[in-house]
Structure 1
Amino acid sequence: MGKFEIKTRKNGDFQFDLKAGNGQVILTSEGYTSKGACQNGIESVKRNSKDDSKFERKTSTNDKPYFNLKASNGQVIGTSEMYENESSRENGIESVKKNAPEAEVSDLT
C-alpha cells in the first residue's frame, strides 16, 4: 500500500511525495505555503488519480518521458520522476492510480 509523506522544504514550504509500497517516490507535489494547502493537495490527488484523463503525458527537453497529474481546474498537483521509456511512464501512472486513493498520510514535519 502506498503512502503520502508531508515534508518541509528548506524554504519553509510544505510538499508531499506519494510513495509506492516499495518506498519508491512516484509523485511529488509543488511547494505549498501552508500545511493545510498541502493536505488539500493530497486529497486532490486521491480524487483525481482515478481518472486517466487527468494524467498529462509529457517528454522532457532531454527526451525523458514523465507525467503530471492535474486537478479539475487544470492545475498541476503532482509530477513524476523522469523515466527511461514510455512503458515505464505508463507503469508509473498505473502505480499512482493503484496507490493514491487509499494511501495513508504520514506527516514528517
Structure 2
Amino acid sequence: MAGKFELYKDKAGEFRFRLKAGNGENVGASEGYKQKGSAENGIESVKKNASDENRFEVFEGNGGKWRFNLKASNGQVILSSQGYASESGAKAGTEAVGRAADGAKTDDQT
C-alpha cells in the first residue's frame, strides 16, 4: 500500500521529509536540506532506490537499537529509520519503505 511523503520545514529553517506507511506510521526520515528543491530531489531518490534491497544498510546503533539507512547510488544517505528492537524488525522496516514509497504522493507542508 502506497504511503506518502511529508515535506516540511524544521525549527532551524531546513527542509526535511519523512515517509509514512499507508497506516500512517513513520518508516523513515531525511536529513535537513537548505533548499526545498534539494529535499524534493531527495524524495525522488528515495522513490528510485527504495525497491533495491542492496541500497539498504542495516546496523546496530548506539543503545542496542537496530536501524537502517537507504543510500543513493553515490553512497549518500537519503533516508534513515527509527530504532528497532531487533535486526529482523529493521529488515522488515526496509521492506516497509519499498511498499510505502511505491506510488507515494508528496504532502507539501511548507
TM (norm. structure 1) is 0.97
CA-atom RMSD, angstroms?
Answer: 0.7
Which segments of 5 or more consecutive residues in structure 1 lack a partner in the other structure?
A: none
SS at match of 1:62: helix
Paired residue for 2:34?
33
Shift of 1:101: 2.4
Conserved? CA contact 2:14–2:34, under 8 Å: yes
Paired residue for 1:81?
82
Paired residue for 1:93?
94
Conserved? CA contact 2:56–2:70, under 8 Å: yes
Q: Percent identity?
A: 50
Residues in 2 aligned to 1:81 and 1:8: alpha-carbon distance in whole angstroms: 19
Paired residue for 1:49?
50
The number of residue pairs the alignment matches comes to: 109
Residues in 2 aligned to 1:3 and 1:92: alpha-carbon distance in whole angstroms: 15
Paired residue for 1:14?
15
SS at match of 2:62: coil
Which segments of 5 or more consecutive residues in structure 2 lack a partner in the other structure?
A: none
SS at match of 1:78: strand
